[in-house]
Amino acid sequence: MAQIVTVAGIDVSKGWLDVALWPDDTIARHVDREAPDWADKLATWLTEHQVGRVGLEASGGYEIEVMDALQARGFVVIRFNAWRIRRFAQADGQMAKSDRADAAVIAHATAVLRVKHANVRPITLGPLVELLNYRRRLCDWEVDCTNQLEHLQDKELRRQTQRRKASLTRARTAIDLKMAALIATCPAWRDLAARLRSVPGVGPVLATTLIALLPELGAVSHKAIAALVGVAPFDDSSGNWCGRRHIMGGRTMVRHVLYMASLSAMRYNPVLAAFTKALAGKPPKVIIVACMRKLLTILNAIARDKTEWQAAATCPQSRSAG
């Protein structure tokens, strides 16, 4: 007789956690995150109920501390996209939304949904991820300043905006130097960054982004890595209807940086340039996404084989098999 495995779902808030079990969702607990020993109490309670697998959803970064605490104590932790959990609740007929109800839905999803690549989150990547996130915010602020300067007429306001933009640019440069120094402290990161940057069109920002936000690079197939980033095409057909294939989901920040790198690689990378030429006549967005996927496949193979671009470029088709 099959044994029913007990799993837990956690709805994460800034000040507290609501925890529910599955299959018996009547068992629940409210945990105050202000308590100094909240992680130990939570782990003890989960252990008492023989829970080994815990699910939670992305909550703007508030879930990171919970994930790290539970993984450090031996629990398998699955982080779900909030959109996926909401759709699961609707499919399950759970229309009510509260912290406790959400915890029960997450617990049920953790038990029945198929989860790929449920790897332990590398805690060592935390500082690098933080720098990347802040750099992204600085870039957004720089763009805001540029947009404002197109419309501002007042000379003093223009001077203030120009000074603010220059300050943001200096701050971004400092972040870039700090990330480079951090990459240099780890031989594995340093070697991987060098291999990735050997590919024409790949700069330090993309290499750092892949190391920090896509640790699966080189460990999964080319189809899986494309799906993780959100550049894998999905079918849209039913019966006689055959719609256009489309992309959706994935890791937004990785995709944004990959997009900018692909625009450069389409011009200066011989493999990508030839690939772009072969796609002539297709819609521009289709060409760009295809090149993003092609570049990601090459980088995945390079990370997997621990080789550099010169070796990969001799046989790009076989090397990009992922």
Each residue's pLDDT tens digit, 53-73: 899 988 878 888 898 889 888
By three-state DSSP, how is residue 238 classified? strand
Which residue is associated with the tokens 């796609």?
Answer: 279
pTM: 0.78
Burial-class residue 237 by CB neighbours within 10 Å (0-12, 13-18, 19+). Answer: exposed
* pLDDT (tens place) for every residue of the chain, 322 residues total: 445 678 999 999 988 999 999 988 788 899 999 888 999 999 999 999 999 889 998 887 888 889 888 988 889 898 888 888 888 888 888 877 888 888 999 999 998 887 765 556 677 888 999 999 999 999 999 999 999 999 999 999 999 999 999 999 999 999 999 999 999 999 999 999 999 999 999 999 999 999 999 988 998 899 889 988 988 876 555 566 565 666 567 788 999 999 999 999 999 999 999 999 999 999 899 899 999 999 999 999 999 999 988 644 444 443 433 3
By three-state DSSP, how is residue 32 classified? strand
Write down the pLDDT at residue 1.
Answer: 40
